[in-house]
Structure formats: structure tokens, C-alpha cells
Chains A and B, each alone.
Chain A
């Protein structure tokens, strides 16, 4: 399975992202960020389907929740996607 991971700087921001996505009908899950994804340690990611990224990004920007970074996860492999 392939997912997109949206990095958030704190659990509260990740929750705001999730709430905004839910309102727009985008399903998401919230997880602790793998260590390799964070320069400063301890963050959260919101996981969505790659099909929803086109909806999610402008929505989050409109809400003032511009994500820190986006990653694509394929199995155990995680790669950053340029914004």
C-alpha cells in the first residue's frame, strides 16, 4: 500500500489538520512521526491516500496549516516529496 504522510510540528497541529481534512471528506490517520522524518525530533504525521493529496494541500494552506513536509510511504520505504 502507498500513503502520503503530512508532517506536523505538534500533536495539536496534526489534530487541526485531521479535523480540516475530515470536514472535507478526506479520511486520515494520525501517527507519531518516524525519527528520520524530523530534524528536531518528536512530531506527528497525518496519513492520507495519495489520491487525496491534491485536495488536502490547498485545503491545509487555506486553513493556515501549511504542512512542514510531505512524504510518500511505500511499504517500509519513506521518501520526501517536494512541495
Chain B
């Protein structure tokens, strides 16, 4: 199987990830839940993982790194901490349901800062018009999970800072690939999965908490700290981590983060961007295929979508699966992104890369699409 669905989860992981998880199962219990060696080994691994994440993403200390189940969990915490019921949110035109559904549940008044695909300046202008007094939060995904559009989060963050509006960054498609620095962004929260560009296992996610934030816990329960109090601790990360930790997951995530740091995010981005451009150019040569990429793929990371007029995206995806190629077809849990780009009626076929893909796999995809078109 050629795996080109890393925007959902990176299936191929460094071998160190599975080894670390196996070792955790054999040698770790629960961090903060005892003073015996098994608990302390778990605490040490959790602390190392927080520390490496804090270093990678420019946090002052490891306590601002909270472990979650996934990016959706992290986004829910961030959104429900900052948006009161009926509150006001400004979001980009390319947000995932992980953002729009919690806002809908809160009955928030949502303004969409839309703009054409791959036009970063238009995105900045749209945010500039909408970020005004009374807005509770701005939410911007760094990279669209459908189109790979790299959004100008640094400029959006600057607007937020100048107008005193908290910012949540959804780094689901950028963590481990693009530079992200909490301190320079000044974001309130940055949410990310552990299982995509950080190469940890499924079931891991991270919420980075900015200075001075006191997030609202989604879960209450035991934290291994101030147990006589019936309130959740007011300090991080305990405030957000009720219940037993996913230690095999955290150990695997630590191994994944170390892999990313060894490779360097710039090298990963260069690799994925080259594969994206190669794929876009190959697909564009096929008659009738509409590829969502500009020549040279500026403002695009390791994701590219395409569609074939007259062919259902899911059918194309199935055809590729029969030919041994894993992609994602449909709406990708991001109807807003499709509405913004004008692809809501059809959806797209999405191809996404990781550090483990090679150019021949991208070429094989184009051959397979060509084969489908001939039938």
C-alpha cells in the first residue's frame, strides 16, 4: 500500500515509536500517582515529552504543555475556555469541524474571514476587517487540511495582539512541519495532534497554553495533586489532565518528537513540498483533472486536492485504493473549507505526504489516476 493520507494520520512512524510504546507498557505505570519506580519512570517520560514539545514550540516551560486525546480535544478545551455561550468568534474560511462544531454547540456568532485559495494577503485583509472590539476569539488553522493552504498565522497573530483579542491556532497540519513559536505568536492556545506531523501514535494530542491562560477543563477528576480539594487544580498541566495518562502514547509521542527534531522541520517541509509540487504537476498533465495548486505551490504545504469533473471523488478514491494507494476523498470533515473554495458540491480527492514518502510514490499516484480516467 502506498500511503498518501498523512493529513488524517501518519501511518508510517519511525521504528523508535513502537519500541518506546512497548517499553512503556513493560516499565511505566502512571505519572504523578506514586513515588515508586514505575510511577516515577512514567513521570520522567511525561516530563521529557512536555519539555521537548515546549522547546520545539517556544514555550517558557513544560507545564504549558497539556496532553489530550487528539487535536479536536485540544481545540474543544481552547474554544470552550474563551468563548462564552452566544459569544463572538472570527474564524478563517478553511476551518475544520473540530472548530465549527464546538462553536455551533456554543451558539456562537461566527464571522468567517474568507478568501481565495492560496491568497495569504486576502486572508489577512479579511481578518483585518473582522477583528474588532467585542470579539471573544480568533481561530485560524495554520494549514488547511483539505488544500494544504498555508495561512498567514503570523500576520493574523499580530492583528490579534494589536487589538487585544485572544488567538487559537489549529496546528493540526503544521505541527512538526512549519515553524511555530508560541512566544512570538502570542497565541492564547495552539492545538495539535500528536499522531500526524509529530509521528506519535493515534490517541495523542497536545494543547499548548499561552502565558496567563486558565483553561476550562472538559473533564474533572483525579490529577495526583491537591487531592483534598474538590476543585480542579488552578495550575497546569494538572488542570487539564484528569484521569490516568496514556503513557504508551506519550512515550511514543516523545520518540516521534525526537525524530522530528533530528530531521528538522525545515527538511520535512522541503521534502513534503517537493512531493506536493511533483504530484500537482503530474496530475495537471492528465486531461480533465482539476488540481488545486498554483504553479510552484507557493503558500502550500504537504497536501494537494484534485477532482475530476463527472467523476465522484469517493469513486476515484475507491479506484485508487483498489490500485494500492491510500488517499482521502469527500469533504474531509471541513465543509467550510470546501464552501470557501467552491468545492462543496463535489468534494475533492486529497493526497497528503509525510517524511516517509518518496517521489516514485507520487508518480505512481498520477499513473493510477490516469488509469482510472481511461476506464
Contact = CB atoms under 8 A, between A and B. Distances in A.
A11 B61 contact: no
A10 B233 contact: yes
Contacts of B35: 30-32, 44
A3 interface: no
B31 A11 contact: yes
B228 A39 contact: yes
Find the residue from A12, A13, A43, A44 having the highest chain B CB count within 10 A: A12
A10 B62 contact: no
Contact of B225 (A15, A16, A43, A64): A43
A41 interface: yes
Interface string A1-36: 000000001111101100100000000001110000
B34 interface: yes
Nearest to A64: B61
Interface size, A (range): 10 to 19
A43 to B, nearest CB: 6
Interface of B: 31-32, 34-35, 40, 43-44, 46-47, 50-51, 61-63, 223-229, 233, 235, 237-238
A42 B228 CA distance: 8
Contacts of B228: 39-42
B62 A11 contact: no
B43 A15 contact: yes
Contacts of B44: 15
B61 A40 contact: no
A12 B40 CA distance: 11
Interface string A34-70: 0000111111100000000000000000001000000
Contact of A30 (B40, B227, B238): B40
Contacts of B226: 9, 38, 40-43
Contacts of B34: 32
Nearest to A32: B35
B321 to A, nearest CB: 44
A12 B238 contact: yes
Contacts of B50: 12
A47 to B, nearest CB: 11
Contacts of A15: 43-44, 47, 62
A16 B224 contact: no
9 contacts: A9-B233, A9-B235, A10-B238, A11-B47, A11-B224, A16-B62, A41-B227, A41-B229, A43-B226
A11 B235 contact: no
A38 B63 CA distance: 21
Nearest to B236: A12
Contacts of B238: 10, 12
B61 A16 contact: yes
A13 B224 contact: no
A52 to B, nearest CB: 21
A34 B47 CA distance: 22
B186 to A, nearest CB: 19
Given A30-B40, A31-B35, A32-B34, A9 B62 contact: no
Contacts of A31: 35
